[in-house]
Amino acid sequence: MKALFVAGTGTDLGKTHVACALLRAAQARGLCVDAFKPVVSGFDPEAPETSDPARLAAAMGRPNAWAEISPRRYRAPLAPNLAARLEGHTLAMADLIADCRTWLDGRDTDFALVEGAGGVMSPMTDDATNLDLMATLALPVLLVAGSYLGTASHLLTALEVLRARGLKVVGIVVSESLDAPNLDQTVEMLRTFERQTPIVVAPRDPDWSAAELADLLL
């Protein structure tokens, strides 16, 4: 089984947009796929269909699977540890790691992805970040960035910390940010600074096929 961790340089940059497109592209190649987002905040139980896990479920043609995709769901649109605390829960990194490993060990599929919450250095628990989860799981990383002013600094910083922890970044996706500088110019600039890992462009188009990304990763 091929597995990836989908990480972001920040929050609300299009990780789920990219993950959904990649899942659809993998299925179009005849692969059996699955996805996991160990914790999600900003979840509205009155409208679960608007959530990230529901979008992942829909991309796989399993619209009712959102609860399996994200077993830990919290209402407040805050860092997971803060959102959990508001509901009387305490998130522990050991539990998140165990959730991910149990899920990965139980997959009988060709391609699986784990999607993080927030950015690479976003807090997940009171004493650990997304990076700590990623480093323990040691999955290859697909890194998603935006195209806003300042994205170069955020992307290059994320790459430095990921590589410092021994993680392999197998692909970079620049997800189009609305009302941002010219997308092509931004990507051209990023490619002058990052030559190790291929960079793919993801327009904010719901029909984006992710074929180029699938060719790179699958």
Exposure string for 91-125, b = 16+ CB within 10 A, e = fewer: bbbeebbebbeebbeeeeebbbbbbbbbbbebbbb
Q: For residue 60, what are the contacts with CB-CB under 8 A and spacing of at least 6?
A: 23, 27, 33, 34, 35
95-109, 115-129, 136-150, 202-216: least confidently modelled range = 202-216
What count of other Cβ atoms lies within 10 Å of the Cβ of residue 218?
15
Give me the number of domains the chain comprises.
1
Residue 99 lies in a domain: yes
Confidence of residue 182 (pLDDT cuts 50, 70, 90): confident
pLDDT at position 178 is 86
Cα–Cα–Cα angle for 163, 157, 166, nearest 5°? 10
CA distance 121 to 157: 10
- The residue type of 134 is M
In-domain check, residue 59: yes
Mean pLDDT of 45-52: 94
88-128 tens-digit pLDDT: 999 999 999 999 999 999 999 999 999 999 999 999 999 99
pTM: 0.96
Q: Which residues contact 195 (CB under 8 A, 6 or more apart)?
A: none
Distance, CA of 27 to chain centre = 18
Please answer whether residues 85 and 79 qualify as being in contact, where contact means their C-beta atoms are separated by less than 8 angstroms. Answer: no
1 located within any domain: no
> The CATH number of the domain where 69 resides is what?
3.40.50.300
Residue positions annotated with a catalytic role? 37
Asked whether residue 42 is assigned to any structural domain, the reply reads: yes
How much is the pLDDT for 204? 87
Average pLDDT of the chain, as a whole number: 96
Residue 103's domain comprises 6-217
The verdict on residue 171 lying in a domain is yes
Residue 100 placed within a domain: yes
> Strand 169-175 relative to strand 141-145: parallel, antiparallel, unpaired?
parallel
In a domain, 103, yes or no: yes
Please report whether residue 184 resides in a domain: yes
